[in-house]
Amino acid sequence: MSTLPVAVAVDGSDDSRRALDWALDAARRRGAPLRVAHVRQYAVWTPPGGTVVAPPPPDEDPVLADARAHLEGGPALPGAAEYVGLDGAPGALLPELGAEAELLVLGSRGRGGFVGLLLGSNSLTAARDAECPVVIVPRPGREADGPQAGGPEQGPGPRVVVGLNVDSPDDATLGFAFAEAALRDARLQVVAAYPWPVQTWAAPGELLPPPVDQHAVAHETRTLAEGFLSAHRDRHPGVRADVRPSPGDAAGHLVAASKDADLLVVGRHRRRLLAPARMLGSVTHAVLLHAASPVAVVPPSPAEE
């Protein structure tokens, strides 16, 4: 049983209720308590000639009361659910929830923002800055178009997808994906994309054919990927992990693989010498915008940060 809670942010929207259901399932699978938080953007003010008007206490918060009622009568939790009201800017407070949580779960959008946005700014900020993995639960009905990674048939049964860059493998991301697949008794689909076609410029406007054979590149990609997975296979012998070398756009393959998947796992961009600030890589950003399944963004280990 985990001692750290699964944290979920709610605001009364349908998106946050979907996140709440996902977080409840995640807490039950982990044997972890559930922490339900509402970040309230109330301003303390004093009307002319009146008394100070302050935010309501947590036990009178209508959003938390709605979340409590939503959970009542559902599956029992291993531990008690905690309801927390926080006052301030969501962009600053949501990442802080991850400092003392095993997992932070959010809806793709909250009540604010423009209608039609695929991803809210607060969810994006939390995925970039939180200390723990962040799961973004999308709205239903997203179309996962794009090339199928490793073939059109995804296969029956629960499935977790993880992206692997063989040039810069992220051990924390692979470890989270294997652990999640074990919790769900799911297959693990490892999408290892490689750039193709390789274009060589001979003269302005003239392209030469690729100097290497694609089959050789795919074979080398698979060999490297299998090496990176070896230690994780030993720790999770019950997880079936299939490596799928995929030519071309990594984001496109991952979005296509998200169709009917239980979870898609990607890493957060590592800090670089010339770019020390935390950021989301372009592949992770594209996946968050377009994936049909929930997406887990995993921060690198402290040593890698």
Which has the minimum average pLDDT: 52-66, 116-130, 266-280? 266-280
Rounded CA gap, 284 and 199, in Å?
Answer: 25
Q: What band does 279 get if pLDDT is binned at 50, 70 and 90? A: low
Angle at CA 251, nearest 5°, toward 285 and 185?
95
Q: What is the pTM of this model?
A: 0.84
pLDDT for 84 equals 93
Which of 22, 13, 175 shows the shortest CA–CA distance to 90?
A: 13
Q: What is the 3-state secondary structure (H, E, C) of 217-278?
A: HHHHHHHHHHHHHHHHHHHCCCCCEEEEEEECCHHHHHHHHCCCCCEEEEECECCECCECCC
Q: What is the mean pLDDT of residues 243-269?
A: 92
Q: Is the pLDDT of residue 116 over 80?
A: no
- Residues 161-219: pLDDT tens digits? 999 999 888 899 999 999 999 999 999 999 999 887 765 555 565 655 656 678 888 99
**pLDDT(150) > 50:** no
220 has pLDDT over 80: yes
Say what the pLDDT of residue 100 is. 92
Better-predicted residue by pLDDT, 197 or 53: 197
Query: Would you state the pLDDT for residue 273?
Result: 46
pLDDT at 211: 66
Q: Percentage of the chain surpassing pLDDT 90?
A: 50
Q: At what angle do helices 282-290 and 121-129 cross, to 10 degrees?
A: 140
Encoded tokens for 286:
């594209």
Give residue 115's pLDDT. 40
Greater confidence (155 vs 300) lies with 300
224 vs 47, higher pLDDT:
224
Q: Please, what are the domains in the chain?
A: 6-137 (3.40.50.620), 159-298 (3.40.50.12370)
Rounded mean pLDDT of 103-117?
A: 66
Q: Say yes or no to pLDDT of 45 above 60.
A: no
